[in-house]
Amino acid sequence: MIMQKNDEFVLKIDALTSEGSGIGRKDGMAVFAYGTAPGDTVLAHVIKAKKNYCVAKALQILAPSPDRIENDCPAFPACGGCDFRHISYDAELRYKAERINDAFARIAGMDLKIEKMYGASACASYRNKAQLPFASGKNGVCTGFYASRSHRVVPNTRCRLQDKSFDAAAAAVRDWAAQTHASVYDETTGRGLLRHLYMRRACSGDLMVCLVINGKTVANPDLLLQLLQRAVPGLKTLCLNINRNDTNVVLSGETQVLFGDGYIEDVLCGLRFRISPNSFYQVNHDQCEVLYGLAAEFAAPKKNDVLLDLYCGTGTIGLTMAGRVQTLVGIETVSPAVEDARRNAAENGVENALFLCADAAEGARQMAEQGLKPNIIVLDPPRKGCAEDVLRLAASMQPERIVYVSCDPATLARDIARFAPLGYTAVRAAGVDLFPRTKHTETVCLFLRAD
């Protein structure tokens, strides 16, 4: 039977995809239904029919899964921020562990399984970062989140994942926009001022608010500051990020400071880190400490070790281990991140750290010139994983241990398979959930040299 758009039928959901959609089968064909859970029986309505699969919408839950819970957010599932507000957190953690283990088996061809899935103690208000697109709504300027796979903004004034101070700040910015008749950026024409509202919060409560604008300035900045200070007592700095590029990238490299120092500071693993608008910093403070603690456990640093932190960013992972090694070397291609890493080292009194602004190959050459050979390498690549030449370079240095911190189980599994012929075998792994109620998860993996 060939499925047609608008077909309706009863569907039993058996599994979840890596994107968080439920999967069932109708007459042997895979049917994907977002917002469903394994164990659900639903009335499915086909919205897209292909030769080998179809995508359906669950019109009605005929028999709920034992894992199903009541959704507590009116913006779900239209808002693209969450994937799992309809299942219990225990079920979410089980799914994430299965996803990692499945990637190891299916992509890496290994029987390796994670030792534990480290769940979060809090599933609400954990995000210390928000980037909210502006849109023109029925009642004027609104903020929200992009619907899944689109740039259509779904208004949301109370995100359950984000710190509540973000909601108050966003309301103040919307009030200012209404009073000053600020325009909203239109991607199709390239006109309009307001693009994104970008915010960061430290565990102390200090808040950074940054408006990303398609222009050089905003009207009545004093009113904006006044409204924000009234709404958010913890406001520490207010910035404008000037982004006039035709791009999906939220931030540009040009930032104006309207109030404060242009950054906030946070304490992580006992160290103080400066966070500016362009700084990379994990969004879940408490779970980040768990993640970095596991990375240190897998690395097992000793006082005479040289630790190389590739993709070091602002130096956070390496600096948390610097006190346990002889020398820390960080390599990063983004110059402002390297400057932040050096500043973070200095402000924390870390004197055994060397941060190089270079690609992996050039950084390795500079290390060799200084007689530095790493015993431990930490890899924390972007979601696409490591470039193959980086893997070869890391293996060629013959470290005793390689610790890989991954935000995508599939690319980690691919790189496990790539490391094997280079003489390094994955021997330990653990999952850490930094992103409760979403499909994303982190994995820490230890590689040992196969002597």
The catalytic site residues sit at 407
Q: In 3D, which of 391, 435, 433, 436 has the Cα closest to residue 412?
A: 391
Cα Rg of the chain (Å, integer) = 24
Q: Do 38 and 14 form a contact (C-beta atoms < 8 A)?
A: yes
Distance CA(264)–CA(402), nearest Å, equals 32
332-369 burial code (b ≥16 CB/10 A, e <16): bebeebbebbbbbbeebebeebbbbbbbbeebbeebee
CA-CA-CA-CA torsion sign (216, 220, 224, 226): positive
The helix (run of H) or strand (run of E) holding residue 12 is strand 8-16
Copy the structure tokens of residue 369.
Answer: 């010139």
Distance CA(254)–CA(27), nearest Å, equals 55
160 three-state secondary structure: coil
Copy the structure tokens of residue 293.
Answer: 């603690």
Q: Do 200 and 208 form a contact (C-beta atoms < 8 A)?
A: yes
For the CA atoms of 31, 34, 35, 37, the dihedral, rounded to the nearest 10 degrees, stands at 40
10 three-state secondary structure: strand
123-148 burial code (b ≥16 CB/10 A, e <16): beebbbbbebbbbeeeeebbbbbbbb
C-alpha distances in Å from residue 198, one per residue of 125, 201, 232: 16, 11, 15
Direct distance between the N- and C-terminal alpha carbons of the chain, in angstroms, rounded to an integer: 55
Q: In 3D, which of 233, 231, 259, 128 has the Cα closest to residue 172?
A: 231
Phi and psi at residue 27, in whole multiples of 5°?
A: 55, 40
205-235 burial code (b ≥16 CB/10 A, e <16): ebbbbbbbbbbeebeebeebbebbeebbebb
Identity of residue 278: N
